[in-house]
A = this chain, B = another copy of it.
Amino acid sequence: MGKASIIVFSGDLDKALAALTVATGAAASGMDVTMFFTFWGLNVIKKGGAWKGEGFMGKMFNLMARGGDAIGPSRLNMLGMGRWLMKRMMKKKNVKLPQEMIADARELGVTFLACEMSMRVMGVRKEDLIPVDDVVGVATYVQEASKADIALFI
């Protein structure tokens, strides 16, 4: 049922969740999905650290808090919404944690590729990452993406 190719450039939690939501949704619809983790996006697939369960709520809080003064006008009125969001999430816990979504993605057969150049430049070794399917260069990305029905940069 087609192919999807997603560059995960951002290491921001909200964008990573969006990328994983599209990836798992596409895979669940029977698509052949590839995620390319590059630049800050390498953080998403780093072992431990940024993606630990407990840390998630703290991060979510920070994400919302910065909506109030650092991020800019368009999110100013998200502050109230953000606190509400966090409370709801903590209460209901029906939103999946990033590492749960990553596990879902892997189970659904989503291919995880790490960007070789980013890793080299940033000093990230393969053993710093959760298991990925391959470490590749931009040529591999181009080849995959040119055959994709959905190609996104997130």
Q: Which residues of A contact B (CB under 8 A)?
A: 1-2, 4, 7, 9-16, 18, 21-22, 24-26, 28-29, 31, 38-40, 43, 46, 49-50, 58-59, 62-63, 66, 70-78, 81, 84-85, 88-89, 95, 117, 121-124, 137-139, 141-143, 145-154
Contacts and interface: CB of A to CB of B under 8 A. Distances in A.
A101 B123 CA distance: 21
Number of copies of chain A assembled together: 3
The A interface, classified by DSSP as helix, strand, loop or mixed, is helix
A73 B13 contact: yes
A14 to B, nearest CB: 6
Contact of A72 (B28, B38, B62, B123): B62
A11 B141 contact: no
Most chain B Cβ neighbours within 10 Å, of A13, A46, A152: A152
A18 B39 contact: yes
